């Protein structure tokens, strides 16, 4: 039963990924998996429930773990790059078998059609910016970076640079090159803050 449910989620993922939430019908899903609509409804009560299961499995927008405040900002940047690389590798593999913009469109559909998803991710973003702010304040206290910076603004800037990895995926369709660009951007950011 669990394998059947997972197969349905996997097949629906492919459909939602290559089309959109609105464009995929229960009929399309049942044809793709070779089930009748009734058999499909045995596992999921409606398209919305199936879509939520797809998003829960495939659209992981989690970010970093708690920063170690014993580390420097330079070390935090390295950890950020490693984590970004791991996230992209888990989502796309070494070479995406589909266009990354499709994955981004799926994530946007989640914000539109998954109740509570947007609020949850907004809280995630707020927590991440607060973590970065802690790291920046620690770096100031340790004399690693300048004291005259606004850590609230710079934490937001750091996070915005990190989100720029999505734009880099659009440009070259390569997770590896997107991470390389992120690394270069964060290194330049660090140079601006360094004493």
What's the confidence (pLDDT) of residue 88? Answer: 83
Separation CA 71–CA 193 (nearest Å): 16
- Is the Cβ–Cβ distance between 27 and 90 less than 8 Å? no
What's the pLDDT score for residue 96? 60
173: left (phi over 0), alpha (psi -120 to 50) or beta: left
Residue 189: name the closest of 86, 79, 85, 77 by CA.
77
Residue 134: exposed, middle, or buried by beta-carbon count in 10 A (0-12, 13-18, 19+)?
middle
CB 162 within 8 A of CB 85: no
- In 3D space, the residue among 110, 84, 109 whose CA is nearest the CA of residue 163 turns out to be 84
The CA-based angle 135-140-143, given to 5 degrees, is 125
How is residue 1 written in tokens? 């039963």
CA distances for 142 relative to 69, 121, 159, 178, angstroms: 10, 32, 22, 31
- The helices-and-strands tally (H runs, E runs) of the chain is 10, 0
In CATH terms, 73-193 corresponds, of 1.10.3470, 1.10.10, 1.10.287, 1.10.357, to: 1.10.357
Tell me the β-bridge partners of 145. Answer: 194
Write the CA distances from 166 to 5, 87, 174, integer angstroms: 31, 12, 11
Domain boundaries, the chain: 2-58, 73-193
Q: Cβ distance 108 to 38 under 8 Å?
A: no
In this predicted structure, what is the pLDDT of residue 44? 94
User: For domain 2-58, which architecture applies?
Assistant: Orthogonal Bundle (1.10)
Instruction: Per residue of the chain (195 residues), give pLDDT as tens.
Output: 578 899 999 999 999 998 999 999 999 999 999 999 988 999 999 999 999 999 999 887 665 556 777 889 999 999 999 988 888 887 776 666 667 788 888 989 999 999 999 888 888 889 999 999 999 999 999 999 999 999 999 999 999 998 888 788 777 778 888 899 999 999 999 999 998
**Per-residue three-class SS string for 105-151:** HHHHHHHHHCCCHHHHHHHHHHHHHHHHHHHHHHHHHCCCECCCCCH
CA diameter of the chain: 66
């Amino acid at each position: 039963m669990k394998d059947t449910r997972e197969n349905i989620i996997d097949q629906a993922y492919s459909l939602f990924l290559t089309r959109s939430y609105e464009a995929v019908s229960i009929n399309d899903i049942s044809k793709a998996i070779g089930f009748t609509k009734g058999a499909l409804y045995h596992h999921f009560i409606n398209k919305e429930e199936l879509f939520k299961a797809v998003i829960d499995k495939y659209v992981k927008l989690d970010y970093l773990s708690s920063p170690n405040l014993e580390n420097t900002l330079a070390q935090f940047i390295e950890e950020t790059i490693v984590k970004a690389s791991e996230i992209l590798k888990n989502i796309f593999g070494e070479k995406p078998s589909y266009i990354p913009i499709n994955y981004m469109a799926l994530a946007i559909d989640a914000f539109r059609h998954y109740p509570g998803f947007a609020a949850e991710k907004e809280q995630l973003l707020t927590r991440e910016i607060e973590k970065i702010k802690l790291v920046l304040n620690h770096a100031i206290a340790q004399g690693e970076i300048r004291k005259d910076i606004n850590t609230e603004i710079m934490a937001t800037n750091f996070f915005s640079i990190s989100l720029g990895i999505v734009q880099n995926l659009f440009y070259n369709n390569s997770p590896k090159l997107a991470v390389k660009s992120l690394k270069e951007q964060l290194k330049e950011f660090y140079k601006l803050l360094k004493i």
